[in-house]
Amino acid sequence: MNLDLRLVRYAVVLAEELHFARAADRLHIAQQTLSAQINSLETRLGTTLFVRDKRHVALTANGELFVRRGRELLAQADDLVADIQRNSAFLRLDVITEGLTTGTLVQELRPRLPDVTLEFVQGQGLSATVAAVTGGQVDLAFGRVHGTGEPLPGTLSHQLVRKAPLGIVLPAGHPLAVRPKVTMEALAAYPILLHTPVEAAEWRDWNEELAATFGLEIGWRLHGHGRQAANTAVLNYQAPSFGPLEASVPDSLVVRPVVAPVPLFPYSVIWRSERATSTLRRALAAIHQIATEHDWLTAPAEDWWLPVRDRS
């Protein structure tokens, strides 16, 4: 017989509810329709799946077998549809937040993949996005693969995109704002502000390792989302805070390069290894091409710093 997945779903939902009215509500069909469809399924199978009377619904031994294997069939069907959709030139990318390296990637990816529908979300940190990548809700994510609190799952692959030099965001009236570049030694004379989303454990870890290495004092630890919130915090506390050199800031703030050494933040692209469809592989190749054209993978000629775990 040809097995109708719609009827399999009906049986699985009824087994979960053990109540025709509730199961029918979940399936958005009439109770009489559900009862008739289950009867039809049992007739075609030549066996009873459910024992029911006016008060009770229960699974038979064959019913338990059918429902258990039926769940497997439905899961495989869902995976098949998801794979086809991914192969149909659709990708979802988590770009962390605005004003970062990923913003440039987004702008340059679109013309290189004109036949691919790109959807962008902002998870605010790789720590929070790993589960979405492993679960298949996100195809590509970006961030620092170390410092998230636990190792990256073995089902994920990653590729370095950029060793990004970070600057220091300062109030326009701050004593360091008059300098064209700020040395790490000069920065050590002022408490810095650490502004991170709760989800961005890898960014918080990077700041703390940098501070410990160069004797910087973290005067304030705040949580928030986005560059605008970070800029507001710098203004409110009149304190320096690390941020991307390319970040746009209001007139009341300035961004200065940090030198001696240049602090580098390693951005990688992360994906689920077994989900590497042809569309995803094209996107990875385009990302690598963009990184190469911008010379993002080359460390600066002057003295620079990376956390120990990121140097390999």
Q: Residue 87 has what pLDDT?
A: 58
**pLDDT average, residue stretch 142-153:** 86
Lowest-pLDDT range of 91-95, 98-102, 111-115, 178-182? 98-102
Cα–Cα distances (Å) from 243 to 85, 106, 113, 120, 147, in that order, read 37, 19, 29, 22, 18
User: By C-alpha distance, which of 210, 205, 211, 250 is closest to 229?
Assistant: 250
> Chain centroid to CA 220: how far?
27
Tell me the per-residue pLDDT of 3-18, one tens digit each, with 9 for 90 and over. Answer: 899 999 999 999 999 9
Percent of the chain that is helix, strand, coil (3-state, to 5):
45, 25, 30
pLDDT tens string 37-91: 999 999 999 999 999 987 889 999 999 999 999 999 999 988 887 776 655 578 8
- Backbone conformation region of residue 127, classed left if phi is above 0, alpha if psi is from -120 to 50, else beta: alpha
Query: Given pLDDT bands bounded at 50, 70 and 90, which one contains residue 311?
Result: confident
Pairing of strands 241-244, 156-171: antiparallel
CA distance 16 to 68: 11
> What integer pLDDT is reported at residue 274 of this predicted model?
81
**Phi-psi category of residue 215: left, alpha or beta, with phi > 0 → left and psi -120 to 50 → alpha:** left
Encode pLDDT of 253-269 as tens digits.
999 999 999 999 999 99
As a whole-number percent, the residues of the chain with pLDDT over 90 amount to 60
* DSSP per-residue letters across 295-309: TTTSPPSS-EE--GG
pTM over 0.75: no
CB 154 within 8 A of CB 213: no
**One-letter identity of residue 56:** H
